[in-house]
Chain A
């Protein structure tokens, strides 16, 4: 028998009928959850953190959670489209910093989404100078700015990498109004671009991280690639929880020497500026609040059991669980502080 057009159409409509939809619903998180993250890299810190949390959550709740590294704009879009709880998001401070710096594609996450529990901190955000730099400390850098010397700082603008730079400018402003103009940004991209900017002598100070730059600080004298830490932005309470051995040739005590209070970048003349890169959940604003409670409870159990902390510390993350309500209050405060810093230096 030969199939003609009519039999084909009949077959197609039969197939369409057979696959007619039926609804599926359940309380709480669906059985299959997609966790989107604000990074496109599956080798980066956001992915690692999210994977650790996703694994623990799916085990605790008995559901499937897939982590998808779609990047911030796509992640927010996916989150927006789905209020059933089958899409949730994990990201870090970039989510509101991008908004504060006015980057295109960043809405205010506090207004447009629901901020959920925090899970961990990456304490690594740092600033470095070449090993043979005349600047020994942040004090030297801020004094240089005061004396009218131009200090070029390589950053990736519009977020986590810029906030420490804004804080430097703000500290310069507090110490000697007007001197903040001598601290200028060199806008680059990835970590390799920032390092390269230092080696090409386009920058005097670069933004980096303990994880990516520590080995450069251990190079022998005379190596052109050698660097020195001048500032680690994390709170001392955060760094204090890092493994005592620290990382590579830099112990925890060495790190604490570059962080507040020993290394001071002032916020307002009395308090120091600090920045911890915190990872937290974001939810669709119309999602059932019961799901947030469910995640809070599950995370509380997971953190009480204690295995996740070991896993996080292995990858140099600091465990940092705050349930949704506390997390929202804490992050809102943090955002407001940074908003003030950014407006304070914006006039100039």
Chain B
């Protein structure tokens, strides 16, 4: 009986022990889910079609696209003036502005002006705070 509970672990292979254990548990749970929810799973394609049909495509995909662009540009722009946080500063201002405009429903002059002010003051003050008093690296 005691031999059944004995386990010997080789340190060199010990990085695989836990991932395997968790993978087995996950597989079992997945099978249980498939058995229980097979109807819902078979219905996945029409469900996702519905999701994409009902979504506000401009706002959702726009936000995603702008964020992607923002992340991709930050480092190359920052590399022009290394270690000054300028990549963050230069990219954040248009990012905040564009996301703000995208999420607005009507764009009356007043709101656009207040958004423009926020999109300049916000990133600049954050950039100043992190670069000078906090002395942290920004892209």
Within the complex, are A and B direct neighbours (CB within 8 Å)?
A: yes
Instruction: Check A3 against B137 for contact (C-beta < 8 Å).
Output: no
Instruction: Check B101 against A33 for contact (C-beta < 8 Å).
Output: no
Chain B residues with CB below 8 A from A1, complex form: 109
Near A by CB (< 8 A), chain B positions 104-121 give 106-109, 112
Near B by CB (< 8 A), chain A positions 79-101 give 82, 84, 86-87
- Assess A32 versus B94: contact at CB under 8 Å? Given A2-B106, A2-B107, A2-B108: no
A19 at the interface (CB under 8 A from B): yes
Instruction: Check A187 against B11 for contact (C-beta < 8 Å).
Output: yes
Chain B residues with CB below 8 A from A66, complex form: 83, 135-137
A83 to B112, CA, bound (A): 43
B135 to A, closest residue via Cβ: A66
A305 at the interface (CB under 8 A from B): no
1/0 contact string of B119-139 vs chain A (CB within 8 Å): 000000000000000011100
A64 to B137, CA, bound (A): 12
Contact of B82 among A3, A8, A21, A30 (CB under 8 A): A30
Chain A residues with CB below 8 A from B99, complex form: none
- Assess A15 versus B82: contact at CB under 8 Å? Given A2-B107, A3-B101, A66-B137: no
Q: Size class of A's contact patch?
A: 20 to 34
A34 at the interface (CB under 8 A from B): yes
A87 to B82, CA, bound (A): 9
A54 to chain B, nearest CB (A): 11
Count the B residues whose beta carbon is within 8 Å of the partner chain — how many? Answer: 20
Chain B residues with CB below 8 A from A2, complex form: 106-108
A207 to B107, CA, bound (A): 66
B87 to chain A, nearest CB (A): 11
Chain A residues with CB below 8 A from B11, complex form: 157, 187
- Assess A82 versus B82: contact at CB under 8 Å? Given A1-B109, A12-B94: yes
A180 to B112, CA, bound (A): 76
Near A by CB (< 8 A), chain B positions 64-122 give 77, 80-84, 90, 93-94, 98, 101, 106-109, 112
Q: Pick the most buried of A3, A22, A66: most chain B CB atoms within 10 A of its CB.
A: A3
A32 to B94, CA, bound (A): 25
Instruction: Check A32 against B82 for contact (C-beta < 8 Å).
Output: yes
Chain A residues with CB below 8 A from B112, complex form: 3
A24 at the interface (CB under 8 A from B): yes
A187 to B, closest residue via Cβ: B11
A204 at the interface (CB under 8 A from B): no
A22 to chain B, nearest CB (A): 8
B107 to A, closest residue via Cβ: A3
A84 to B79, CA, bound (A): 10
B116 to A, closest residue via Cβ: A11
A3 to B106, CA, bound (A): 9
Instruction: Check A86 against B94 for contact (C-beta < 8 Å).
Output: no
1/0 contact string of A146-179 vs chain B (CB within 8 Å): 0000000000010000000000000000000000
Chain A residues with CB below 8 A from B94, complex form: 12, 15-16
1/0 contact string of A1-29 vs chain B (CB within 8 Å): 11100001000100110010111100000
Chain B residues with CB below 8 A from A32, complex form: 81-84
Contact of A33 among B83, B109, B136 (CB under 8 A): B83
A183 to B84, CA, bound (A): 51
A19 to B84, CA, bound (A): 15
Chain A residues with CB below 8 A from B90, complex form: 19
A140 to B109, CA, bound (A): 85
A276 at the interface (CB under 8 A from B): no
Contact of A24 among B81, B98, B108 (CB under 8 A): B81
Chain A residues with CB below 8 A from B98, complex form: 8, 12
Instruction: Check A34 against B137 for contact (C-beta < 8 Å).
Output: yes
Chain A residues with CB below 8 A from B108, complex form: 2
A184 to chain B, nearest CB (A): 11
B19 to chain A, nearest CB (A): 16
B110 to chain A, nearest CB (A): 11
A65 to B, closest residue via Cβ: B83
Instruction: Check B137 against A8 for contact (C-beta < 8 Å).
Output: no
Subset of 23 A-B contacts with CB under 8 Å: A3-B101, A8-B98, A8-B101, A12-B94, A12-B98, A15-B93, A15-B94, A19-B90, A21-B77, A24-B81, A32-B82, A32-B83, A34-B82, A34-B83, A34-B137, A64-B83, A66-B83, A66-B135, A66-B136, A68-B137, A82-B82, A87-B82, A157-B11
Q: B interface vs A, CB < 8 Å? A: 11, 77, 80-84, 90, 93-94, 98, 101, 106-109, 112, 135-137
